[in-house]
Structure formats: C-alpha cells, structure tokens
Amino acid sequence: MPWYHGWNVLAVAMLFQAVTFGVGIYSFTFWVAPWSAEFTVGRSEVMTVFITLQVAMGLLSPLAGRAVDRLSLRGLIIAGALCLAAGLLLAGRAGALWHLNLVYGTLIVAGLLLAGPLAGQTLAARWFARRRGTALGVVTIGTSIGGFLVPPLVTGLHAEIGWRAANDWLALIVVLLIVPPVWLLVRNAPSAGLGAVEGTGGDGHRDGGPVPSTATLNILRQRVFWLTVLAFTPLATAFGGAQQNLGPYASDLGIDAQSAAYLVSVMALVMIAAKIFFGAMADRWDIRALFLLTVVGLGVALGLMLLDLSYFALVLVCGLLGFVAGGFLPLLGALVSQNFDIRTFGQVMGMIGPFTTLAAVGPWIAGYLRDTTGSYDLAWLALSALLVPSAAAISLLKPRLA
C-alpha cells in the first residue's frame, strides 16, 4: 500500500503548532518576571498583555477561519510564522509595556491564528475522510508537544543571554522550523497524485476546488452551531477554572511548588494520550457519548477536589483533568466536520472562537470565590454547575446530519 501524503501533512501541522503555541502560549509565563523588572510594573499589569492576546484571538478568529477556507493554507501558515517571528523581534526591542500590548495584539496573534490549531485541524479535516477523527486527534498533539519542549528552551535562553536576545533567537527558530517543511509538504487538500489512500476527503473537494459561499448569518441561524457553542463554552470555562487554579489549590493543601509542577506534567502527559483516544473513538462512537464522558469526568474531578486530598490522590485527579482536556479539540473538530460542509470547516471553527474565548472568565471566577470565602469549595461547586447546560446542549444535538 502506497504511503499516504496526508500523514506527512499531519506531521508538519503538529510541528508548526508545537512551535507557535509553545512560544506564544505555553512559554508566556516565563516573560512575566523579566518584563515586570524591565518596565518596573506589577505582574498583574504584565498580564494585561496576555489578556490582549486572548481577546484579539477571539475577535479575529472568524476572519482567520474564512481565510483558511478561501486562501492557500501553505501561504497563510508561512505568513503566520513570519508574523510571529517579526513580533518576537519587535517585542525584544520594546521600550514600554504598551509596546508589548501592541505587538501581542497584532503580530503575535496573527502568528497563532494562521499557524496554529485552526490551520492544523483544517488540514486534518481535508486530508482525511475515513479516519478523520483519528487525524483530528493526532494533529492536536502538536500544541501539547510544544508545551513540553519549548518552555525549557525559552528559560534556558533567558538565563544565558537575557530575554531580549532570546527573542531574536526564537524568531530565527520559528522561521527555520516552520517555513521550509510547510513550503515543501503542505497542500490545501489531496490532489489526484497524493490522494491514493484517503481519496478526496469524502466530499469531492480537491486542491484548488471551489469553496461554497457560506454567509456568516446563515451559519449563525443554524441550531447546531449554537448547540455546539453552548456545549463547549461552559465545559472549557469549568476546566480552565480548575486548571489555572491548580497551583494555588495545591498550595492550600500544603504541597510545595516543585511538586505542584509535577502535577501539571502528569496532566499534560495524559492529555496527549487522551487526544489520540478521543480522536480515534470519534470515528467509531457517537460523539455525543464521548462528549458526555468528558462532562462526567470533569464533574468527578471537581467533586474529588472538594475533599482533603493526599498528594497521590491529587495526581489521579490531575490525570483525570488531562483526560478530559484531551477530548476538547478532537471532539469539537469532529463535531464541526460532521455537521457542516468540510469546505467551510475553518470558517465555522473560527466563528466558534469568540465564544470559547469567554472561557477565560473561569480562572477569575474560581480565584474570586477562593479569595472571598477562604476556600475553593464554593469555586468547585460553581464550576460543576456549568456542566449542566453543557451536557444538556450536547444531548440535543443529532449525531450526524440527516
């Protein structure tokens, strides 16, 4: 059986996601302290840069979604890599905090949107039909790999040459690791010579084929779109609240920072395996059942966190959280690919982006309730309540288009 080129495309997609999200998202925390010292501002002020990044990503994701459906993905990914590299270079020359807000709200955002999960999942959805769920699960591993490999590189560079010079090296790394393989291997969709195994993606769409004109209002009028938003947004909000407060929660239990860091590693390891599991199962099981499995899993984890846990018990809880989080992107991608024309995959995913950005309120809710009550108990109960509308929305979805 001839080697299917789609696997090469998936490998490249994993690579560019690992680089962009490893640098732009997972390593952001390691710039906070040097920026705070450099610009003589509090760390909460530095965090406004990350808030700017998140808000801009949410607002601009619909535009990015339309672009990936209508323009050359190879060109867009390369443009995204160049934007990220330019943003890193400019950030390394910032003279004030507002300079960083400007750079992160424009060039860095462009890099993450054009050369991140949106492009990676769109490629997976186009190149695979029979094993689309598996491909969607595999391609999302790229961000987790970036979370493992890039932060040590960033911290090492900061320690050796300082954060400004480190940005220059990171910009070069971004260009060298992304541009050549994307230029050589990525194509929009299978052509006659490259689709020997998976064929055309199941809908007759080949490289260069016409993209249907789907008005934004037409998508917004569809019941399945809103049920998808209502299903995923509360779930992501609840998980984010638990994940971002894990360190302070562990501290409340008397667990030191180094041991708490191992908990994050456990979560990330399980997340990688879970992405493969949920992606593969999306090809075989009803996606609604898989989604409800993540809801139940998160509910159990939040319930256990109401108890006075030992460190070993908390390790198990973090493993469960990683399992739940591993289902998010593969199941969302599978659900969109089943209920919308695959040629508008990027547009629909992009339109969901602004709503899922609301999940950023989860960590604040949990932190606020901890500060006002002196305990995380009410926070975990409040986050658990969000799972009810999430489960109800997914239960109302049809498994596939009629």
Per-residue pLDDT tens, the chain, 402 aa: give them.
Answer: 678 888 999 999 999 999 998 898 878 777 877 888 899 887 667 778 877 888 888 888 888 888 888 889 999 999 999 999 999 999 999 999 999 999 999 999 999 999 998 899 889 888 888 888 888 888 888 888 887 788 888 888 988 999 999 999 999 999 999 999 999 999 887 765 555 555 444 443 444 444 444 567 777 888 888 998 898 889 988 988 887 677 778 878 888 766 776 777 777 788 888 888 888 888 788 888 999 999 999 999 999 999 988 889 999 998 999 899 888 888 888 888 888 877 788 888 888 878 877 777 787 788 778 888 888 899 899 999 999 999 999 888 876 543
Distance set, CA 34 to CA 62, 99, 183, 331, 396 (Å):
33, 15, 35, 38, 48
**Distance between CA 232 and CA 239 in Å, rounded?**
11
Tell me the backbone φ, ψ of residue 387, rounded to 5 degrees.
-75, -20
Tally the domains of the chain.
Answer: 2
Same domain, yes or no: 307 and 176: no
CATH number of the domain to which 105 belongs: 1.20.1250.20
Position 201 in a domain = no
Tokens representing residue 215 in the block: 């008005």
Query: In this predicted structure, what is the pLDDT of residue 205?
Result: 45
Position 402 in a domain = no
Query: In this predicted structure, what is the pLDDT of residue 90?
Result: 97
Cα–Cα nearest to 295, from 197, 220, 394, 201: 394
Same domain, yes or no: 123 and 246: no
Same domain, yes or no: 69 and 170: yes
Q: Is 300 exposed, middle or buried (0-12, 13-18, 19+ CB in 10 A)?
A: middle
Query: In this predicted structure, what is the pLDDT of residue 198?
Result: 58
Same domain, yes or no: 248 and 369: yes
Query: In this predicted structure, what is the pLDDT of residue 129?
Result: 82
Same domain, yes or no: 271 and 348: yes
167 conformational bin, left if phi > 0, alpha if psi -120 to 50, beta if neither: alpha
Same domain, yes or no: 272 and 323: yes
Position 205 in a domain = no
Position 243 in a domain = yes
Query: In this predicted structure, what is the pLDDT of residue 300?
Result: 95
Same domain, yes or no: 125 and 222: no
Position 37 in a domain = yes
Position 138 in a domain = yes
Same domain, yes or no: 299 and 165: no
Distance of CA 63 to the CA centre of its chain: 17
Query: In this predicted structure, what is the pLDDT of residue 109?
Result: 95
Determine the structural domain holding residue 303 and report its residue range.
216-395
Position 209 in a domain = no
Same domain, yes or no: 233 and 172: no
Task: Note whether 53 and 109 are within 8 A (CB).
Answer: yes
Tokens representing residue 311 in the block: 């460190």
**Distance between CA 327 and CA 94 in Å, rounded?**
38
Domain end residue (candidates: 165, 185, 205): 185
Q: Is 67 exposed, middle or buried (0-12, 13-18, 19+ CB in 10 A)?
A: buried
Same domain, yes or no: 51 and 151: yes
Query: In this predicted structure, what is the pLDDT of residue 215?
Result: 64
Same domain, yes or no: 247 and 179: no
Same domain, yes or no: 175 and 224: no
Domain end residue (candidates: 185, 201, 225): 185
Position 334 in a domain = yes
